[in-house]
Amino acid sequence: MYCNECGAKVPDDARVCPSCGHQLATDVEAADVEPPVEPIYTPAESETARPSPRTGGCGWAMIAGMAAGLAILVIVALALLGIYQGVQERTHLNRAAAMEHYQKGLEQLTLQNYELARAEFELTVQLDPKNREAVTKLAEVNALISSQPTATSALSHQTAVLLYNEARELYNQGDWEGVISKLEQVRSLEPEYEREQITNLLVEAYYKAGLGLVEEDRMEEAIRYLDRALELRPAEQVAREQKRWASLYLAGLGYWGADWQGAIESFSVLYQLKPDYKDTRQRLYDAYVAYADTLYEDGDWCAARDHYDSALAMTFSEVLKARREEAAQHCAFAPGPTGTPPPSGTFVGRLVGLEDVGQEEAMMIRGHILDAEGNPMPGVQVGLSAWDWSAPPALTNAAGIFAFDGLGNPLTYTVTLIDLPHVSLPVKADWSKLVWVEFRPQP
């Protein structure tokens, strides 16, 4: 027979499995075991013996706990769904763009423009690494390029001149991808032919093609074109700015619906740099409102109030103002921190002043670090952070003063002392304001 625990074959008269030690039932023992008898349910007896139900108490507490747990699961599920949908949308867009470049590669392969076909297939694989057809075609093109005989100098030069003239005609028509295609062939054939002029034309073509892709919301491809322009001319400031704006916008879209805090940080920086970039202003406003609503539902009233304030500063709404006032009322009556005071020697911060600096775009936090006798403490490292962002540490001067000037977002920042025992201090910064704080050790 076989052990019903591990499946090993055991002697028929064995009581214990030699492989796993499981107690084996003999045929007699198995036969002696009677199936369990189901109890007979008698309504009258059951109703008599059953205790009377009780209302309230633990029953309601259990129901409330289950409801709270279910709500948490729903919130987590919605967050995961947002992330999943964002990833799915990004994957779908990448695959669509990959197919477009794959078709271009096939066209160039048919025309025997092997270098351009290779570039298109390489971009296809970058956008969609699972595209086996593109991988196969890329290997095919690489083999063709390797097997091609080297053109004679005269023929190579003649071809380069012809391609260059065609590129100039396409430039006059505003066909930037056509210009790129022709000029890349020229560089492959004759790297030194009209080198400076071709570089100028390529930089402009990459830049203009990138801007066109931005208008089509194809941000990843736009960034690649702008990168190519910067590879040819790293000091091209307009291309660098466009790349930064596109990168911030793309990052904000990546956070959208899944991480409102991250979306706010990306779009707020972009809004400071380029307020009219696409729909940045509307997206920043929507992110403020969505995050404030989330914080309100989580019971973080004060943070919700601050984000409603940020949204109202951009676009006023009576409905939004009413929600802000509700959050502010909850914040005012929220219980403060409890517990024992910090131990002696721990530095505790406090607000000591607020100044109007008279500049709408200025926002600063400064402060003093003093010892127990009130003397300034130079050389103390001070940190400043908000959410997952942090500034480079500031160092107090001989007067014990530190400064964080040029802040870019009206948020509640956290001030910390990096090398000293302390209690972190939240500080609300706002436009045209200088906030002064002070840290002293607890007696």
Contact 287, 273 (CB under 8 A): no
Rg (CA), the chain: 35
- Residue at token pair 């590879």: 231
- Residue at token pair 């969505």: 290
- Which two three-digit tokens encode residue 420? 């000293």
* 363-379 pLDDT tens trace: 999 999 999 999 999 99
Contact 324, 309 (CB under 8 A): yes
- Predicted TM-score of the model (pTM): 0.47
Contact 415, 382 (CB under 8 A): yes
Q: How far apart are CA 251 and CA 276, in angstroms?
A: 17
**Which residues is 437 bridged to in the sheet?**
351, 367
Q: How far apart are CA 14 and CA 41, in angstroms?
A: 42
- Which two three-digit tokens encode residue 75? 């919130």
Rounded mean pLDDT, 317-326: 90
Confidence of residue 357 (pLDDT cuts 50, 70, 90): confident
Confidence of residue 41 (pLDDT cuts 50, 70, 90): very low
* 389-424 pLDDT tens trace: 889 999 999 999 999 998 988 888 899 999 999 988
* 198-214 pLDDT tens trace: 899 999 999 999 999 99
Q: What is the mean pLDDT of the chain?
A: 82
Identify which of 390, 366, 338 has the alpha carbon closest to the alpha carbon of residue 439: 366
Rounded mean pLDDT, 83-87: 60
pLDDT at 113 over 90: no
pLDDT at 82 over 80: no
Other CB atoms within a 10 A radius of the CB of residue 93 amount to 16
